[in-house]
Amino acid sequence: MSRIVGIDLGTTNSLIAYVDEKSGLPRVIPDRDGNVLLPSVVSFSGDGVLVGAAARRQLVRRPAATVYSVKRLMGRGYDDVKEELRYLPFKVLPGEGIVKIAIGSREITPPEVSAIVLRSLKERAEAHFGEPIAKAVVTVPAYFNDGQRQATKDAGRIAGLDVVRILNEPTAASLAYGLQRIHEGVVAVYDLGGGTFDISILRVKEGVFEVLATNGNTHLGGDDFDRAIVLWLLDDIRTRHGADLGSDPEALQELRLAAEAAKIRLSADDRTTLTIPFDAFTYHREITRAELDGLIEQLVDSTLLPCRMALADAGLAPADIDEVVLVGGSTRVPLVRRRVHELFGKAPHSQLNPDEVVALGAAVQARILAGGITNMLLLDVTPLSLGIETLGGIVSVLIPRNTTIPTHAREMFTTSVDGQRVVDMHVVQGERELAKDCRSLARFELSGVDPMPAGMPKIEVVFLIDANGILQVTATELRTGKAAAIEVRPAYGLSEADVERMVEESFTYAEADVEARLLIEARNEADIVITHVERALRQGEALVGDDERQTIGAALEALRRARATEDRELIREATTAMNRATEHLAEVMMDAALKAALASRRADRVLEK
């Protein structure tokens, strides 16, 4: 049996999972340190590329060269995303069809950035299994359009993965729950992640998972919660300190990371405190959960309209829903859970880790495709309507949104001009009435039509969507038998040649890339240690003797010299030596800090504790 893994390529974090053959249950694969989440962050430098937690640490130090939330740019044009670019510290440029990210003099596409994340997950799985991994099921938001799905497939290909199925995230979550607890009924899957929101309504019966309707917003998620907090903090800093930090990329990243951390803490606590040191002042304030709710209430409420639309498309009322499942890290926010409870009239389930459940479901689908699970069947839907542009720029829909796939549809058309020999076929996707307001998927020509009066030719157009959501369109003039066909591959910016080049480069430079990454990680760790030791020496100079200061100074100088070399083992050895040399300094500084903290509190408060 060919091994297929399941991947959740997320806005904030990404994961990779498989189904354990002994237990039959899906499991997430951790890295060598036991972390299952891989931050979807990539940082570029002249030395190479960092990914994950190491890249995330570069957000404040090198914001213009560190890319995050790239999922929101996948398969998108400049006009699609220009409103939110002012919030991103890295430079985004118009490309041919899609945006490109400028890192210094280099331009890179969103699929290439996502491929770096996917490649890291692939390496994690290969280390776990001790064998090459070549096939994967990759999840996407249910409301991703054709271009965004194709961009995701291209990212997998660049990473050296054959993406055997693109799976909707809410559907994946239902599969994970289905394997462990859901046996029958109508299920609503509410999926609020870092950058996207989806709602899917499914019917589960005798192992068949049938998606009835889906809806959502590919530009709404936890990132927007963080942004609302940051804008609020910027106003507060202007009022209290007279400082405008809105144009300082490093300060904005400090605030964004602090806002994210505060949001997470307020999911469990009623209040939390922020302390952020800036060059000119230290910002300190308390935030309550009620204040957070006020900042994000409008955003949370905006998820409810897609829920109502999905229910309407499925022909159901909230009372018809048997179970509600929460997916995505942002569903930990108490206000989100309250609003979902109020809408559906029942407490939502979150027994499975909302960060992991999509990856677990992808692993289940991977196992089904590999033949390891035979008692489950998934019937998904196409999220957006598909049609043909007709006379006057009007869209004639052949496959409405929320049609179960695989599916096919056919419709008869004719010509509008006497003697017309060539018919231009324009395939579009979207819910608007005019083609100019929908997404153009493909154009092709039906030529060789016999010249006849307008309205005489009979042109049959057939749409066929397979289980992967790939669309094939055929047009045939029935009187003459002349036919033309196209497999719709959205022309969103990356050509077949582009993808092939990127794949070849990933193999050509694979070993050098790994070495470069390891060197960067060693240097970054050294930089952090140097910064902390220098600060500790300034603050704790009186706490240690001359001999110890000289020992620490010598180790510090040795680490600086090693840092300047290309020898990562030498850098790591010098870093370890530096840590050993400062163990006593760290202990006495901790003791001094505890004594100072205790001395500043009233004796009765101490006794109470």
Does the predicted TM-score (pTM) go above 0.85? no
**Could you tell me the pLDDT band of residue 77, with boundaries at 50, 70 and 90?**
confident
Query: Residue 468 has what pLDDT?
Result: 63
Closest by CA to 332, choosing from 58, 53, 12, is 12
User: Could you tell me the residue ranges of all domains in the chain?
Assistant: 4-220+302-379, 222-301, 384-496, 510-599
Q: What per-residue confidence (pLDDT) applies to 506? A: 58
The pLDDT of residue 392:
75
% of the chain surpassing 70 pLDDT: 91
Residues whose CB is less than 8 angstroms from the CB of residue 184 and which lie 6 or more positions away in sequence, other chains included: 204, 205, 206
Q: How far is CA 563 from the centre of its chain?
A: 34
Q: Does the pLDDT at position 68 exceed 90?
A: yes
**Using an 8 Å Cβ cutoff, are 252 and 245 in contact?**
yes
Query: pLDDT per residue over 196-247, tens digit each?
Result: 899 999 998 878 888 899 998 888 999 999 999 999 999 999 999 999 998 8
**CB neighbours of 97 closer than 8 A, spacing ≥ 6?**
77, 491, 492, 493
> What pLDDT does residue 14 have?
96
183 Cβ partners below 8 Å, 6+ apart? Answer: 204
High-pLDDT (> 90) share of the chain, % = 42
> In terms of CATH, what superfamily is 4-220+302-379?
ATPase, nucleotide binding domain (3.30.420.40)
Least confident of 314-318, 397-401, 515-519: 515-519
C-alpha distances (whole Å) from 66 to each of 50, 62, 70, 115, 277 are: 9, 6, 11, 15, 22
* b/e map 146-179, b = 16+ CB within 10 Å: bbbbbbbbbbbbbbbbebbbbbbbbbbbbbbbbb
Mean of all residue pLDDT scores within the chain: 86
Side-chain half-sphere exposure of 580, counting CA atoms within 13 A: 9
Answer yes or no: is pLDDT of 577 > 50: yes
Which of 101-105, 290-294, 316-320, 505-509 bottoms out in mean pLDDT, i.e. has the lowest? 505-509
Least confident interval from 67-76, 396-405, 502-511, 578-587: 502-511
Whole-number Å distance between alpha carbons of 594 and 401: 62
Query: Is 222-301 CATH 3.90.1150.10?
Result: no
**CATH code of the domain made up of 384-496:** 2.60.34.10
DSSP secondary structure, 484-513, as one string: EEEE----SS--HHHHHHHHHHHHHTHHHH
**605 band by pLDDT with thresholds 50, 70 and 90:** very low
Q: Contact at 8 Å (CB) between 415 and 449?
A: yes
Domain 510-599, CATH number (from 3.40.350.10, 1.10.3720.10, 1.20.1270.10, 3.90.1280.10): 1.20.1270.10
Distances (CA, A) of 41 to 57, 58, 163: 9, 9, 21
Identity of the highest mean pLDDT range in 89-93, 97-101, 278-282: 89-93
Q: Tell me if the bond preceding 110 is cis, omega within 30° of 0.
A: no
Task: Inform me whether the pLDDT recorded for 603 exceeds 50.
Answer: no
Q: What pLDDT was estimated at residue 602?
A: 45
Q: What is the largest CA-CA distance in the chain?
A: 102
Tokens of 393: 């720029």
Q: What's residue 496's pLDDT?
A: 59
The C-alpha atoms of residue 185 and residue 203 are separated, in whole angstroms, by 6
Task: Decide whether 222-301 matches 510-599 in CATH topology.
Answer: no
| Residues that are catalytic | 8, 71, 169, 191
